[in-house]
Amino acid sequence: MSNGTLSNYCKHKSTLIKIVLTSLIIILFFSEELYAQYPTTEINKKFEAYTDSLKQVKYTNTFPIWGQEAYKKGFDIPYPTGVMVNYMYVKQGLIIDNLQLGLQTKNLDIALTPVDFIEFGDNYSSAHTVMVRPDLWIFPFLNVYGVFGYGQSKTEVNLTFPIELQSIVEQSVRTTGFGVTAAGGVGPVWIALDTNLTWNKPEHLDEAVRVTTFGIRVGHNFVYQHKPYRNFGIWVGAMKVKLGSETFGEIQMKDIFSQEVFDRGNEIATNYYQWLNSLDPTNPIDAAKINKANEILTPIVNRIAGADGESIIRYGIEKKAKQEWNGIVGMQFQYNKKWMFRSEAGVIGDRKSFLLSVNYRFLL
């Protein structure tokens, strides 16, 4: 591991630890009022018998720690161990900076070269992912979990200058990671703070992309009168997603450009050379662009004009989400303490998302 990679890893690990510690401080500060992810804290006459029965529970499981104390207070804490299966769709805008390009053909081997005068239009990334999330409630208010996923992603990049060109890359993505949720109830509502760190490895990238997610949700559960273990919850919240900034990879031109691009190859080349010939070689700024263009852009444009799909484009970029924060709404139906069904949507902000989830919980 290089010094730069180690430094970035330590930086993000430190950030994650700070978020977790902050969440714990908030939870422990309200420890007299907070217990469990979906507690019933407002005791109603119709639930008194059920609450009294919870206070009589002899809890002998190791997790969650302080589980017996939670039951003594009349809290109906969830089973400590669970496996959640999620399907998620997300689409968000991307901002791309510091582009580097390289090219490998039978006769050429051009290393990554900075190209700072290329301009981008609107760029997007979308993904369909299925994830498995095993989890464990360490305390009645603190859950840890792992994330393991596989899906398909689609990235659309639009160049607007010096040539108009669209690149669409579709590829599989594998995801691994871990996270922490701190949650509890205050009066009639519950609050959940969640953070996770995942590494997403698209097939055409050299290294996995690190993604840090932080979310806050505030909601209320409606408990069934004759079946207090069954409830329906709704919530609103906000989520922040921060992408790892540096991305490097290589891909064949046939996998990055559509047939329509190759069909327009001569037109693209004509427009490119018109721009190149319009530059003034006696102007230092234009002269630098000419040298850089001839070094890397001209060979790429010539391959597009020749419909060469076998050549390999190398690339390096810095990217970030167009908007890191978005608003979310969600709901969950808890059929019993073993089965829960959830849906959540990102509806406010640039990032749009949709989640379907089933959660099975059990005692060890």
Q: Domain boundary residue among 274, 289, 308?
A: 308
Q: Which domain holds residue 128?
A: 3-250+318-362
CATH of the domain at 165: 2.40.128
User: What's the pLDDT score for residue 14?
Assistant: 53
Write out the chain's pLDDT in tens, 364 residues.
444 444 444 554 454 445 444 544 444 444 434 444 444 444 456 667 777 788 888 888 889 999 888 888 878 889 999 999 999 999 999 999 999 999 999 889 999 999 989 999 999 999 999 999 999 999 999 999 999 999 999 999 999 999 888 899 899 999 999 999 999 888 889 999 999 999 999 988 888 999 999 999 999 999 998 898 899 999 999 999 998 778 888 999 999 999 999 999 999 999 999 999 999 999 999 999 999 999 999 999 999 999 999 999 999 999 899 999 999 999 999 999 999 999 999 999 999 999 999 999 999 8
Whether 132 and 263 share a structural domain: no
Same domain (yes/no): 85, 191: yes
The pLDDT value recorded for residue 46 is 61
For position 184, what pLDDT does the model report? Answer: 86
pLDDT at 275: 95
Q: Where in the chain does DSSP place strands (E)?
A: 81-104, 109-114, 119-120, 123-139, 142-161, 165-186, 189-202, 209-223, 231-243, 246-252, 312-321, 325-334, 339-348, 352-362
**326: in domain:** yes
Neighbours of 162 (CB within 10 A): 21
Shared domain for 47 and 191, answered yes or no, is: yes
Among 192, 180, 184, which residue's Cα sits nearest to residue 145? 180
In a domain, 271, yes or no: yes
- Asked if residue 196 belongs to a domain, the reply is yes
Q: Under a CB-based contact definition with an 8 Å cutoff, are residues 34 and 66 in contact?
A: no
For residues 178 and 215, membership in a common domain is answered with yes
The pLDDT, as a whole number, for residue 48 is 74
Residues 214 and 330 in one domain: yes
pLDDT tens column, 343-356: 999 999 999 999 99
Give the end of a domain, one of 286, 308, 330: 308
In a shared domain, residues 245 and 262: no
313 located within any domain? no
The span from the CA of 74 to the CA of 10, in Å, is 41
Residue 336 covered by a domain:
yes
Which residues have CB under 8 Å from 83's CB, separation 6+? Answer: 132, 133, 134, 135, 359, 360
Quick one: 102 and 165 in the same domain? yes
226 in a structural domain: yes
Cα(241)–Cα(130) distance, integer angstroms: 18
Is residue 191 located within the same domain as residue 290? no
Q: Both 296 and 202 in a single domain? A: no
Q: Write down the pLDDT at residue 30.
A: 41
Q: Does 25 reside within a domain?
A: yes
Q: Do both 293 and 226 map to the same domain?
A: no
Query: What pLDDT score does 206 carry?
Result: 83
Together in a domain, 118 and 262? no
Q: What are phi and psi of 259, to 5 degrees?
A: -60, -30
Q: Which of 57, 59, 87, 61 is nearest to 74 (CA)?
A: 57
Q: How many domains is the chain partitioned into structurally? A: 2
267 and 220 share a domain? no
- Strand 109-114 relative to strand 246-252: parallel, antiparallel, unpaired? unpaired
pLDDT for 188 equals 87
CA angle (182 as vertex; 177, 187 as ends), nearest 5:
150
What pLDDT is attached to residue 24?
47
